[in-house]
Structure 1
Amino acid sequence: MLFTKKSLTEDGFTGFRPLDELDPMRIPQGPGVFAILRPAEFEPVFLSKSAAGTFKKKDPSLKRDALESEWVPEASVLYIGKASAGSQGNRGLRKQIQEFLDYGRGRPTVVWDARLIWQLRDASDLIIAWKEFPASEVNAAEAAYHAGFVAAHGRLPFANLVQARTKK
């Protein structure tokens, strides 16, 4: 997979909305995988301080050189995440993506793994897409997308700091 809007669409991803135009009520409630993409003309401008909220009183900001070293210049996809059903079965894409957006608005949350997105000056211009999966397949799907991205680009997407693995 090339990890472009076209290849993700062909693979069943839908949505493809800019973050600042996203209506959470139009996001499916079931479990799945979501991707953050940059628009065609997007050039990264790194903020010295993240717009994201804190997590366990930790500042999510990284230094500029660390951000630059994570950037994958040829990649459209900046982050690949998952939304499980949760232990009570009441989570899913809508809740996970809403928490991701709230985190970017400075609210404390547990969405620590995507924090680099919120250190981009024009993060609200980024595009989000999602694909639903049965709850039993979400972890394997996320791990497969991470592995596919690494195979295509030699490393994880910009904001993925840890590679997902299939749980046994």
Structure 2
Amino acid sequence: MLFTKKSLTADGFTGFRALDELEVMRIPQGPGIFALLCPAGFDPVFLTKSTAGTFKKKDPSLKCEALEAEWVPDVSLLYLGKASAGSQGNRGLRKQIQEFMDYGRGRPTVVWDARLIWQLRDALDLIIAWKELPPSELNAAEAAYHADFVATYGRLPFANLVQARTKK
């Protein structure tokens, strides 16, 4: 898979909205996978300070050199994560993406994995897409997407700092 809008659409992803135009109430509430992609012509400019909130009093900012080292050139996919139903069954894509957006606006949260997104100057221009999945398929799907990306590009997407593994 090339992890483009075309290939993700063919694989069942929908949405494809710029973050600054996202209407959270239109996002499905069920569990699934979501992806952040660069729009056409996106030029990464890294901020010295992240717009994201703190997590356990830790600053989410990385040095620009570290961000440049994580950047995967000529690839549109920047992050691929999951949104589980949670132990109470009240989470899912809408809640996870809302928390991700709140985190980028500086609110403290537990959405630490995708923190590199919020050090991009034009983060709100990024495109978000999602794919609903049954809870039983979620972990395996995330692990498979990560493994496929690593097999194709030799590393994880820019903002994925930990490779998902299939849980037993």
Give TM-score scaled by structure 2 length: 0.99
Aligned to 1:57: 57
Structure 2 equivalent of residue 140 of structure 1:
140
* Aligned residue runs from structure 1 range 48-127, under 5 A: 48-127=48-127
Question: Structure 1 regions of 5+ residues with no counterpart?
Answer: none
The letter for the 2-side match of 1:5 is: K
The 2-side partners of 1:27 and 1:76 are apart by 21
Shift of residue 14 of structure 1?
A: 0.1
Unaligned runs of 5+ in 2: none
Q: What's 2:38 paired with?
A: 38
Deviation at 1:123, TM superposition (A): 0.1
Deviations 1:26-56 (A, max 9, x none): 0000000000000010010000000000000
Q: Distance in 2 between matches of 1:34 and 1:101?
A: 13
Q: Residue type matched to 1:108 in 2?
A: P
- What whole-Å deviation, never above 9, does each CA across 1:79-133 have from its counterpart, x for those lacking one? 0000000000010000000000000000000000000000000000000000000
Q: Secondary structure at the match of 2:140?
A: helix
Shift of 1:74: 1.5
Q: Is 1:16–2:16 an aligned residue pair?
A: yes
Residue identity in the other structure for 2:31: P
Shift of 1:152: 1.0
Q: Distance in 2 between matches of 1:109 and 1:133?
A: 24
- Give secondary structure in 2 for the equivalent of 1:33: strand
Identity of aligned residues (%): 85
SS at match of 1:43: coil
Query: 1: CA distance between counterparts of 2:149 and 2:26?
Result: 27
1:75 Cα deviation (Å)?
0.8
Give me the whole-angstrom Cα distance separating, in 1, the residues matched to 2:146 and 2:43: 23
Q: What's the offset of the Cα at 1:16?
A: 0.1
Mapped to 2, the partners of 1:14 and 1:151 lie a distance apart of 24
Find the aligned partners of 1:103 and 1:38 in 2 and give their Cα distance: 19
Two-structure CA RMSD over aligned residues (Å): 0.4
